[in-house]
């Protein structure tokens, strides 16, 4: 039985995710010798959509006349918030009420969350939006998986994670042999399960396997809003403060205090660029007790004040 997928392209959508969404379906048809999948494209105006790389894609449908389909995927990229309109959200809610299966690719999870469709669900979105997404949508269970397929609304984090999701759907619907054959045609031999994390793991990035260091950094990431001291972290993971210092020096060439501060400041930069939160709100969300202290540390690190950061990076 042929399945029809509709891809709703939001302006500035990501081209790599677009290709990784459609080509596995095309190749599945080619390899199987059957029309297992058909697809159509939609956009806000029903005419065309511009990709973030400047290319133009013609579409068949607008948000006011989305076709009946087995699966609707919202695909967006950078600046997705600027293109979220009442018409777009209304169309998605209407499609959901009519029983259409709706998912999201790359930053499309933000669009579904804005429509109130991801509350109390697991969801994946591109790692670059994690900090701002968690601030904006606290009722969504954001995970770092490359994709989530076991919820009402499937989500993929973008890029080649979109291909992982499509290969998963092909396997679900038509078996592992076809999915493997499609991956082979794509010369894609690193297919990931949904539980794989988006970013390269700490172990891979630093080339180390020390479990104490991994646990220490995990606790830092979990307590950015209320930072723990090095002694508290060391105590929690069962080592001495001196051992913790040695681990950070050996594997990361830094101290626990400096590494933790860098994590907090990096999150602050994401929030400044990706949200409209005030400087004091960003400061508090990243564990600083005053805007003044936050501004001094931020400027010393990035060479620009938090207030000016938005103007330099947006």
* d(C-alpha 256, C-alpha 253), whole Å: 10
User: For residue range 191-212, what is the model confidence (pLDDT) as tens digits?
Assistant: 666 655 565 445 544 545 688 9
pLDDT of residue 250: 81
User: For residue range 241-267, what is the model confidence (pLDDT) as tens digits?
Assistant: 999 999 998 877 789 999 999 999 988
CA angle 168, 14, 273 (to 5 degrees): 115
* d(C-alpha 69, C-alpha 217), whole Å: 44
- Stated pTM of the model: 0.69
What is the mean pLDDT, run by run of 10 residues, along the chain of 314 residues? Answer: 96 95 96 96 96 95 94 95 95 94 96 97 90 89 89 93 94 92 83 59 54 90 94 95 92 87 89 84 94 92 84 51
pLDDT of residue 196: 57
Cα dihedral sign for 131, 132, 135, 137? negative
pLDDT of residue 204: 45
Q: What are phi and psi of 261, to 5 degrees?
A: -60, -40
CA angle 185, 173, 190 (to 5 degrees): 40
Hey, what domains does the chain have and what are their CATH numbers?
Answer: 3-185 (3.40.50.880), 202-313 (1.10.10.60)
pLDDT of residue 127: 83
Q: 264: closest CA among 285, 290, 292, 241?
A: 285
pLDDT of residue 190: 61
pLDDT of residue 200: 45
């Amino acid at each position: 039985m042929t399945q029809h997928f509709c891809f709703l392209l939001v302006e500035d959508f990501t081209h790599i995710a677009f290709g990784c969404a459609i080509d596995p379906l095309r190749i599945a048809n080619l390899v199987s010798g059957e029309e297992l999948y058909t697809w159509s494209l939609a956009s806000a105006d029903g005419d065309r959509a511009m990709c973030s790389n400047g290319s133009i894609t013609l579409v068949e449908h607008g948000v006011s006349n989305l076709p009946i389909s087995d699966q609707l995927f919202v695909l967006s990229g950078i600046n997705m918030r600027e293109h979220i309109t009442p018409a777009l959200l209304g169309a998605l809610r209407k499609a959901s009420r009519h029983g259409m299966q709706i998912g999201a690719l790359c930053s499309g999870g933000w669009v579904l969350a804005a429509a109130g469709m991801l509350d109390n669900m697991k969801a994946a979105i591109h790692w670059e939006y994690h900090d701002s997404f968690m601030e904006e949508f606290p009722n969504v269970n954001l995970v770092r998986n490359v994709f989530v397929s076991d919820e009402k609304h499937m989500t993929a984090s973008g890029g080649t994670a979109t291909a992982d999701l499509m290969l998963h759907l092909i396997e679900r619907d038509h078996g592992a042999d076809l999915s493997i054959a499609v991956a082979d045609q794509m010369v894609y031999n690193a297919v990931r399960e949904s539980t794989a994390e988006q970013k390269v793991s700490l172990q891979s990035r630093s080339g180390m396997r020390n479990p104490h260091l991994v646990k220490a950094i995990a606790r830092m990431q979990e307590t950015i809003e209320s930072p723990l001291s090095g002694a508290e972290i060391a105590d929690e993971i069962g080592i001495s403060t001196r051992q913790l210092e040695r681990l950070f020096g050996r594997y990361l060439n830094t101290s626990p205090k400096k590494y933790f501060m860098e994590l907090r400041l990096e999150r602050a930069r994401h929030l400044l660029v990706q949200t409209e939160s005030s400087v004091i709100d960003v400061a508090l969300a990243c564990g600083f007790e005053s805007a003044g202290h936050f501004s001094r540390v931020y400027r010393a690190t990035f060479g620009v004040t938090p207030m000016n950061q938005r103007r330099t990076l947006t």
